[in-house]
Structure 1
Amino acid sequence: MSAPEVREATTRASISTRKVRPTWPLYLLFFLVAGLVGATISFELLTDSLVALGIPNPGPVTTWGLPFFRAVGWMLAALAIGSFMFAAFYISPKVPDNDNTRLVEAPLSVDGDIAARTGAVSTLCLGLIAVLMIPLTLSDVSGTPFRKTLAIDMWGVAISQVSTALAWSVVAGIALVVGVAGLIFRKWIAQPLLFVGAILTIVPLGMEGHAAAGGAHDYGTNSYLWHLLAMAVWVGGLMALIAHGRRLGPDMEIGLRRYSNVAFFALVTMTISGLINAAVRVEWSDWFSTTYGYILVAKTVGLVLLGFLGFVHRMITIPQITTKPGLFLRFAVVEAVLMAAVTGVAITMGRTPPPPPRDPNLSQMAIQMGYDLHEKPTLANVFTMWRFDVMFGTIAILITAGYLYGVWRVYRKGGTWNHRYTAMWLLGTLSLFVTTSSGLGMNMPATYSMHMIVHMTLSMVVPLFLALGAPLTLIMRAYDTGAPGQPTAHDWALAITRAPLLKVLTHPLLNTLQFLVVFYVLYLFIPLYELAISEHAGHLAMNWAFLISGYLYFWELVGTDPAPVKRPTAIRLAWLVGSMPFHLFAGIYLMQLTTIMGEEFYQSLGLPWELNLLEDQRVGGGIGWASGSFPMGLVFLLLFIGWRREDRETETAYEKRVESGEDHDFEAYNEMLARISAGGQPRAEFEETEFRRPAEGEDPPEGPSEGPVLDLRSRRKR
């Protein structure tokens, strides 16, 4: 027996002697560690916090319960994210006939189904905790005993007056939808969407707290969101990996390798975002002289230890996963326990008063926007002002690097890539970076006209260039299809182009409606606009909506990637022409509007230059009307050129068939002329069958055996 055969036999024997073990006791351990650590630290620090805030002690139920359930809620959110991530990308589904091109039809495997069900149940449990956190939060901030805040009328007070309670109510709503959907949908194609939905459950909590207040809160909030996402993917992915190993699931090596790469990037993201967040809110001297600083130090030490354990995994346990799977699982459990403890430490920061702000004399503008503006924006100086956008500036850098890496992989495989696609993608990412990080993005919250410039760029310019960059095609070219029944990035990208949901969303009517609804709803419902511009969360939501809506619209209209249904260019051209008036009408409406949108907010900023709000709004409406014409004109030109190209290709192919004598329509016509010349009648079925063009993929009818009396091909040449 050869050495590889011996190793394989040893591995099989080792696996056969192991038993499938449930993971729920470990889940409870992780939850208890996180909750008890958070509750203990919070209880020890609560007296100082209450004194500093001037709030009465709400009692032991709130003192212990709020940090305990907050930590457990975070762990449940992480478990849901990790479980859906595993079901979507780490565990192979039951692909029909092991044909990876049919991934969109694939139901989940047994292990994938267990992971998805774990994610759904975890999300529903998170929703229940979110509901419980509403009265607990009101009790905490008001000093009211918990039993009194359980009254129904108190819930309305909590949600309307306490931002944290409102955030938890939104979490409960999202968790309910995602959890129920996770229990219903059992195909692979739903798992990436459920993964995104699980991520959305933690976003509302990232938009409130210390990071969302005070100066530079745009940096604080955006970096905190990156931090939470990385932490959830890291912690949740490890818990899902442990569960997969304990039930002896297949493809453990594949799942571990993919998780290891994700965990490395998550650690880097957590480190960078954590440093940015701490630098914004805490002076370096406060790290070792304040309670808040001590907690930061403890959390940092925990992250360093976790990074060390991750290094041990990559160097020692992962290479031995096939021969010593138990070694990895033991290390992983210890790592997960430490992660839970670090989570418990982290949630106590929300209940600990931070050190005094760096600048105690913040202007109203800095409080509202996070920074000050000192000069009126002009066409020249908006490109000399720069403030890096931690959210969209980072995304622009990441997707640029990812795209160039994909191009490098294509060339490394010996393939070729259209440079025009690369140029379009780089124009899109550059437009995104400049729009959000230059003076355009800085002045967007301050004036209506700058808001409209950024809106039109993010919804019409950036998505148009990105759609022309063919990112899904690049993924399919850069990565090979997986082994039969084991999909890879190539197969995931192909499945996206065939997704049933996208087939519905990219229907011309629905696609146009969703693109217009973002515009009309935001500006016709003035209270919604005022709410959106007055909160940083509103700015983030608007920008994401602009980008996603625009990309869906242009993907089907002119995108170079395959689409679920790629309609003829003539139809798409007619679709564009029919929808263009609706784009222009909104700008005209805004130019004639006499009500000043967001007047109270704009006046509260105290801009250092004179600004006529109504005139600025009319300028913004004109920008919306005029700037929409340019990208739509470009799209019209691209579609018209494509239409003419398709028409020429069809005509050229037809000419070639005629030249080669393969055009059976002419042969049938010549046969008809021969019959008439001989005094006979054309066949009755001639008009129905002889001149029918064969459908795509259909064999053409056989031509006549006799030569024609009149050769129409010669006339065609003349």
Structure 2
Amino acid sequence: MSKGSGVRPTWPLYLLFFAVAGLVGATISFGLLTDSLVALGIPDPGPVTTWGLPFFRAVGWMLAALSVGSFMFSAFYISPKVPDNDNSRLVQAPLTVDGDIAARTGAFSALSFGLVALLMVPLVLSDVSGTPFRDTLAPDMWGVAVSQVSTAQAWAVAAGFALVVGVAGLIFRKWIAQPLLLVGAVLMIVPLGMEGHAAAGGAHDYGTNSYLWHLVGMVVWIGGLMALIAHGRRLGPDMELGLRRYSRIALFAIVVMVVSGLINAAVRVEWSDWLTTTYGYILVAKSVGLLVLGFLGWAHRVITIPRINSRPRLFLRFAVVEALIMAAVTGVAITMGRTPPPAPRDPNLSQMAIQMGYDLYEKPTLANVFTMWRFDVMFGTIAILITVGYLYGVWRVRSRGGTWPWLRTAMWLSGTVTLFVTTSSGLGMNMPATYSMHMIVHMILSMVVPLLLALGGPLSLIMAAYEPGEPGTPSPHDWVVAITRAPLLKLLTHPLVNTMQFLFFFYVLYIFIPFYELMISEHAGHLSMNWVFLLSGYLYFWELVGPDPVPVKRPTAIRLAWLVGSMPFHLFAGLYLMQLTTVMGESFYLNLGLPWELNLLEDQRVGGGIGWASGSFPMGLVFLLLFLGWRREDRATEVEYDKKADAGEIDEYEVYNEMLARMADGRGTPPGHQEDEFRKR
């Protein structure tokens, strides 16, 4: 590129951002080193670990943010090269030059994050053991780190995710892969959100869930801005479009960061500790940084966005300063992981509070589970957000003069209310404590909530709420259409694959007893199980009875046949659990110290019966919906043939042959009925 072109590379700025984050984190951590070592009771691990661990931890977070922001940019902030400017062909669209650069940046950032994560494994072991860094590089020490140090294990898992995302990002270069790569980039940071101060002690369910929200908001906010800076320095097209889209996401991200940060701080720190402890001082510094960044974000919306076309350099100057402050705040924030928090409010936590994050005081009954409430920061928040989002979509449809079926709205709201109540009432509170309550919540989250949400038709609502974009500039309407035509989704919604994935998670969790014990013993396991229940169930019912489009909409009779064929497998699992004589998760349940008597084997048999019986109702409802749909399709086909026959468009033999053909592929009505219809003619 020529010197006079005005196009400037961004990698020097990336290095500057990384250096600022790393040096701020390392400097603060070094200043607090003595107090940290005394509090933790470990020897000094040496200068490499003392400086290297906070430096590379901060750099790692900045790399993760850049990866997330770059994939979000290539997926949604600018338009791809749509063939013939026909947005209906978005699924085939390659990336533009700018999109391709962003995607490669995301891929290389993920790979670099993976390498940093691998480096963090011996650094973490060195830090927690006081062993010099060079000694932790031995192969046998890696095994010790991953098996015995939870933080090192989290970094190792994050490295695995990152390397997969990075390699996939270099291979798949079409637009349709970018949303999936974005999801993968977010998943890179999830293991790191499951460890640390937030995952330990009382109320760790609040601490972990709020910390996850905080991390996702951070990488979306910081990464998106870095991606926009790079695009602006390349003088790329669609800058105003990308900036406006980012501005909306950034506003949501900063709200998420502030609220989740306050929740996390309230769990771990008394308000009086904010100005009297080292940990509190770091929280204050981080909070001030967030306020400054919030002001700069407001300035972007008011000053730079309206002038982006006439004064693009103004945005870049603002954005670079904002990114530098973000990097400094990131450096401050990572020091919290190495700074001992103040003493807990209750130093004498029960075993139950240590394991679950809270105490239970009475045996759950059908009545009192709805008098116990503990807001679920993860799924309770999601229930609220998707409720608001759906109602906003309905409002958009009606404001454009359209209509939306009230029954679909009722189904969606029923699903979100059920999700909220299940996870935030006594049902969710008692889920980790007893097998029977675990099974109740499992069945609701995998069969009831997904079925209701699928019947709400959210994808159809998005397509109705947003108009197709201008040619070559896809809108949310076009994104949804393209995603429903994605090749991967076509594979996942094949009846065989879809049925197998739905059964797989159920059987793997309950048939392999050690896996079940592992999942219930950690908050990360509970969180993962609930996500899997919801997503697996939604995919299953979306293809089976959902009104939303799928890549291949198979005849109702075929879907009904798949349901009938799979129902015995659902019932068998419940019967198996009812007859099992080994108590699953016995040591975990015994160590909770519940304040009521509980026969674990009998409770497990009750849970198996719940799994067997409760699965019958939603499956019966699905069967009824499919059967009624089959009958409607058949009647509509008959009416169509009757009209054609009466009009003389087809003769009787053609009608009869068509009926036989429909019978052969499962789309027809019972043979006797078809023979009667033919004779009537």
Q: Counterpart in 2 of 1:664?
A: 650
Q: Distance in 2 between matches of 1:31 and 1:482?
A: 37
State whether structure 2 residue 322 is matched by structure 1 residue 335: yes
In 2, Cα distance between equivalents of 1:231 and 1:183: 25
1:325 maps to which residue?
A: 312
- Using the TM superposition, give the Cα deviation of residue 662 of structure 1 relative to its aligned residue in structure 2, in angstroms: 3.2
Q: CA deviation at 1:667?
A: 8.8
* Correspondence list, 1:125-274, <5 A: 125-274=112-261
What is the CA–CA distance in structure 2 between the aligned matches of 1:417 and 1:207, rounded to whole Å? 40
Instruction: Supply the distance in 2 between the matched residues of 1:163 and 1:585 (Cα, whole angstroms).
Output: 37
1:645 paired to 2:632 = yes
| Structure 1 contact 658–713 (Cα < 8 Å) conserved | no
Q: Tell me how far 1:657 sits from its aligned partner.
A: 2.0
Would you say 1:593 and 2:590 are equivalent positions?
Answer: no
The Cα shift of 1:692 comes to 9.3
| Residue pair 1:282, 1:354 contacting (<8 A) in 2 also | yes
1:411 to 1:688, Cα distance in 2 relative to 1, 3 A = closer
Who is 1:495 aligned against?
Answer: 482
1:249 Cα offset (Å): 0.7
Q: Tell me how far apart the structure 2 counterparts of residues 322 and 328 of structure 1 sit (CA, whole Å).
A: 10
The amino acid across from 2:460 in the alignment is T
Deviation, structure 1 residue 658: 2.6
Residue 386 (structure 1) aligns with: 373
Q: Return the letter of the residue paired with 2:359.
A: D
Corresponding residue number in structure 2 for 1:121: 108
CA contact (8 A) 2:645 2:651 kept: no
TM-score when scaled to structure 2?
0.96
Aligned residue for 1:201, secondary structure, equals: helix
Q: Which amino acid aligns with 1:110?
A: V
Residue identity opposite 1:234 in structure 2? W
User: Which AA in structure 2 matches 1:317?
Assistant: T
Q: What's the counterpart of residue 289 of structure 2?
A: 302
Amino acid at match of 2:449: V
Q: 1:590 to 1:713 in 2, by over 3 A?
A: closer
- Return the alpha-carbon distance in structure 1 between the equivalents of residues 271 and 678 of structure 2: 89
Instruction: Tell me the SS of whatever aligns to 1:323.
Output: coil
1:445-464 correspondence to structure 2 within 5 Å: 445-464=432-451
Q: CA RMSD in A?
A: 1.8
Once the 2 structures are TM-superposed, how far is the Cα of residue 418 of structure 1 from its aligned partner? Answer: 0.6
> Secondary structure at the residue paired with 2:214?
helix
SS of 1:544's partner is helix
Query: Given that residues 62 and 327 in structure 2 are in contact (C-alpha distance below 8 angstroms), is that contact kept between their aligned partners in structure 1?
Result: yes
| Corresponding letter in the other structure for 1:384 | T
Question: Runs in 1 of length 4+ with deviation above 2 angstroms?
Answer: 666-669, 712-717
1:17 CA drift (Å): 7.0
Cα 1:483/1:617, change in 2 over 3 Å: same
What percentage of aligned pairs have identical amino acids? 81
Structure 2 vs 1, CA of residues 354 and 562 (structure 1 numbering), >3 Å: closer, same or farther?
Answer: same
SS in structure 2 at match of 1:292 = helix
Q: How does 1:414-425 map to 2 (within 5 A)?
A: 414-425=401-412
Query: Which residue is equivalent to 1:673?
Result: none
Which of the numbers 336, 347, 351 marks the counterpart of 2:334?
347
Q: Give the drift of 1:666.
A: 3.5
Amino acid across the alignment from 1:397: I
Q: For residue 147 of structure 1, what is the amino acid of its counterpart?
A: R
Give the Cα separation in 2 of the matches to 1:145 and 1:392.
Answer: 42
Q: Which residue of 1 aligns with 2:609?
A: 622
Aligned partners of 1:714 and 1:228: how far apart in 2? 66
Aligned partner of 2:528 among 541, 556, 578 = 541
CA contact (8 A) 1:215 1:367 kept: yes
Among 563, 569, 573, the alignment partner of 2:550 is: 563
Q: Residue deviations 1:198-228, cap 9 Å, x none?
A: 0001000000000000100000000000000
1:678 maps to what in 2?
none
Aligned-partner Cα distance in 1 for 2:157–2:236: 35
Secondary structure of the residue that 2:365 maps to in structure 1? coil
Matched, 1:364 2:345: no
* Aligned residues of 1:377 and 1:439 also touching (Cα < 8 A): yes
Distance in 2 (CA, whole Å) between partners of 1:396 and 1:317 is 35
Q: Which runs of 5+ in 2 are unaligned?
A: 663-675
Query: Which residue does the alignment assign to 1:13?
Result: none
Separation (CA, whole Å) in 1 of partners of 2:507 and 2:277: 49
Amino acid at match of 1:532: M
C-alpha distance in structure 2 between counterparts of 1:276 and 1:223, whole Å: 7
Aligned to 1:98: 85
In the alignment, the residues of structure 2 paired with residue 160 and residue 339 of structure 1 have an alpha-carbon distance, to the nearest angstrom, of 34
CA distance in 1, matches of 2:8, 2:227: 14
SS in 2 for 1:664: coil
Equivalent positions of 1:15-30 (< 5 A) are: 19-30=6-17
Q: How far does the alpha carbon of each residue in 1:292-332 deviate from its partner, in whole angstroms, 9 at most, with x for none?
A: 00000000000000001111111111111000000100010
Q: Distance in 2 between matches of 1:257 and 1:57?
A: 49
Aligned to 1:435: 422
**How far apart are the structure 1 equivalents of 2:158 and 2:140?**
20
Aligned-pair CA distance for 1:22: 0.2
Greater gyration radius: 1
**In the TM superposition, what whole-angstrom CA distance separates every residue of 1:147-179 from its partner, at most 9, and x where no partner exists?**
000000000000011000000000110011000
Residue 403 of structure 2 aligns to a residue whose secondary structure is coil
**Match status 1:72 vs 2:59:** yes
Query: CA shift at 1:244, angstroms?
Result: 0.5
Question: Residue 578 of structure 1 aligns to which amino acid in structure 2?
Answer: G
1:201 & 1:131 partners in 2: Cα distance?
Answer: 13
Task: Find the counterpart in structure 1 of residue 472 from structure 2.
Answer: 485
The residue identity in structure 2 corresponding to 1:580 is M
Deviations 1:668-690 (A, max 9, x none): 89xxxxxxxxxxxxxxxxx999x
Amino acid at match of 1:363: S
What is the rounded CA distance, in whole Å, between the counterparts of 2:636 and 2:4 in structure 1? 65
Cα distance between partner residues in 1 of 2:661 and 2:494 = 30
- Give TM-score scaled by structure 1 length: 0.91
Query: 2:446 matched to 1:476?
Result: no
Q: Is the 8 A contact 2:120 2:152 kept in 1?
A: yes
Which position in structure 1 is the counterpart of 2:391?
404
CA deviation vs aligned residue, 1:6-25 (integer Å, no higher than 9, x gap): xxxxxxxxxx9751100000
Q: Give secondary structure in 2 for the equivalent of 1:338.
A: helix
The offset of 1:652, in angstroms, is 1.3
